[in-house]
Structure 1
Amino acid sequence: MDTRSLQLFLSLSETLHFGRSSEACHISPSTLSRTLKQLEESLGVQLFERDNRTVTLTHEGRLFQQYAREALAQWDLIRNSLLAEAAELHGEISMYCSVTASYSFLYEILSRFRHDYPRIEIKLHTGDPDQSIARALAGDEDIAIAARPDSLPAGLDFKPIAASPLLFIAPQGDLGFALPPAGESAAEHWSDVPMILPEGGVARDRVDEWFRAIGIRPHIYAQIAGNEAIVSMVSLGFGIGVVPRLVLENSPLAERVQILDARPELAPLEVGLFALERKLKNPLIQAFWAQLPGEA
């Protein structure tokens, strides 16, 4: 089957930029434009609105985007099932995780996987960890690495990798604010402290619950996407932050911050793999899933 036109359509529907999509797909912009025009003519509808500056999906384009994702997923499933029968797994798995997760967990997992399945390619994307679950749910990625939320979304499976405590960290040296006393969670010690917090995600939920428990609204200096940036801002003296221990242990700025003794302790993060349950029927994803200990 020729699925190339669907792949090209999905690429442009995600980037909304002919230049970036043509480069990613290793074709010329004119070839991309011609292929999509032929696809639109075949369907009898316009999939994109184009002008000299922007590209946007039409209503029909958004509907076709969902179809294209499902069609390619079904094609990959049957193709890989047939290859599995022949004991010859090959293809591509897309993954998404933070930079920290990529060097904290992936090396060991991928070393085993590449040894056992050398013909399966891993397409890795890195970015804000708070986007991991959403990308897996949307079907943009086959597998994502992230912290498990208290309530797992329907249709999503999870396999744990490790647990990481959440830590309050503060700058070293002279500060422009008073640190809360060790072991104290009284409101008067925390109400005026500048806080540097994640924009969202499980860590932010835990911090919000902690402040609610001591009965104050925190003085938020900044809300940051990405744990590494929180460590950086704390090391520069802007305030107190909250990050997972695994991020701090891998940070080049770890010696420029100090861990605070804040009570009660924040609940640790449970980090692991996420994948749509329906995608676990794919032999390639099953093979990757089985690399981790526990139930496959």
Structure 2
Amino acid sequence: MDINKLYYFFAAAESDSFTRAAEHCHIAQTTMSKYIAQLEEETGCTLFLRSKSGLTLTEEGKRFYEGMKEIDRKYRALLSSLAPQKALCHLGLASQEFKGLDFLPAFQKAFPEISLSCHMAPVPELENGLEAGTLDGIIAPDAIVFPKRFATIPLMPVPQCLVCSEAHAQSLKDIPHILSALPFLTKADNPCYVDSCRRKFQAVYHASFGMSETIPTFTEQLLRLSLGHGFSILPYTPGSIGNGLYLFSLPPTFEEWTCLVYRPSHGSPALQRLISFFHEKKC
């Protein structure tokens, strides 16, 4: 059983609604429903009674909730007792412009006995480190696709902006004209992500880009943007940011999720403590 599913179950049981529970946990309602269905299949019993008025726990669901709450308390206490003095949690960073990671300093403050070590590198190098056990986890945007043997937990949604040169912002004026005139520059080597962005632009602005180009590094991406070679979607605040760049805010549908990627069978006590802490704060 994936212990992380329990936190979604707890949230659903305590909010009486899959929709509200999904909002509290910052996941899609369909994802919440899928996790609960998987949990019911694993336990072999119906945990919730579903009706128009909301959710209620079945008798089996109540017993499961009370039992797993007690197990969760013991599990978290055990993790704390196992973490040695100044245990290290090695995290790889798969991007250079992270936002929405306020929980990491909060975790460090709550657990000073666990030191967070962060290492920035290209994605293939990080994958090798995770496979070899030199990394406990990778923090990356959801636009990056990792092998299915790794588990992924969505952490925080990050608002996005459309970024282009100030010259293009002045001459093209608005997002629909920028989409029609410029190619999309992205670091994500993921055709599904590019197609998803194209569909979102079409749905929101009734216009979309034609060409896209993969740029390997964040530095090169910013340089190409400042030279007027295209536009990008980046996690910044609207307005001018210098270096000849200008930003237009994008609606929530363009939010990018920051995710934690790890090996389920090789999670260190320090990483499990981080995952538990995050779920406690999120749910």
For normalisation by structure 1, the TM-score amounts to 0.50
Structure 2 counterpart of 1:163: 157
Q: Within 5 Å, give how 1:1-296 maps onto structure 2.
A: 85=81, 88-97=84-93, 98-101=95-98, 104-106=99-101, 108-128=102-122, 136=130, 139-148=133-142, 153-173=147-167, 179=172, 182=174, 184=176, 190=179, 193-201=182-190, 204=194, 206-207=196-197, 218-220=210-212, 223-234=214-225, 236-245=226-235, 248-249=236-237, 253=241, 256-260=244-248, 267-280=254-267, 282-294=268-280
3-state SS in 2 of match to 1:239: coil
Asked if 1 retains the 8 angstrom alpha-carbon contact of 2:176 and 2:208, the reply is no
Q: Tell me the percent identity.
A: 14
Which region of structure 1 is more displaced relative to structure 2, 128-137 or 139-148? 128-137
Residue identity opposite 2:247 in structure 1: I
Structure 1 counterpart of 2:65: none
Q: Which runs of no fewer than 5 residues in structure 1 stay unpaired?
A: 1-81
The 1-side partners of 2:144 and 2:214 are apart by 22
3-state SS in 2 of match to 1:99: coil
The 1-side partners of 2:81 and 2:201 are apart by 54
Asked if 1 retains the 8 angstrom alpha-carbon contact of 2:140 and 2:260, the reply is yes
The 1-side partners of 2:82 and 2:247 are apart by 54
Aligned length: 202
The 1-side partners of 2:239 and 2:180 are apart by 28
Show CA shifts across 1:145-174 (max 9, x none). 112359875343333332124433221137
Which region of structure 1 is more displaced relative to structure 2, 161-170 or 267-276? 161-170
Show CA shifts across 1:63-91 (max 9, x none). xxxxxxxxxxxxxxxxxxx9965664543
Offset of 1:125 from its aligned partner? 0.8
Change (3 A) 1:291 1:129: farther
Offset of 1:212 from its aligned partner? 9.4
Q: CA RMSD in A?
A: 4.6
Larger RCO (CA within 8 A; separation ≥ 6): 2
Residue identity opposite 2:167 in structure 1: G
Q: Which has the larger radius of gyration?
A: 1
Offset of 1:273 from its aligned partner? 1.6
Asked if 1 retains the 8 angstrom alpha-carbon contact of 2:83 and 2:270, the reply is no
Asked if 1 retains the 8 angstrom alpha-carbon contact of 2:79 and 2:272, the reply is no
Asked if 2 retains the 8 angstrom alpha-carbon contact of 1:166 and 1:244, the reply is yes
For normalisation by structure 2, the TM-score amounts to 0.52
Show CA shifts across 1:15-43 (max 9, x none). xxxxxxxxxxxxxxxxxxxxxxxxxxxxx
Offset of 1:110 from its aligned partner? 4.0
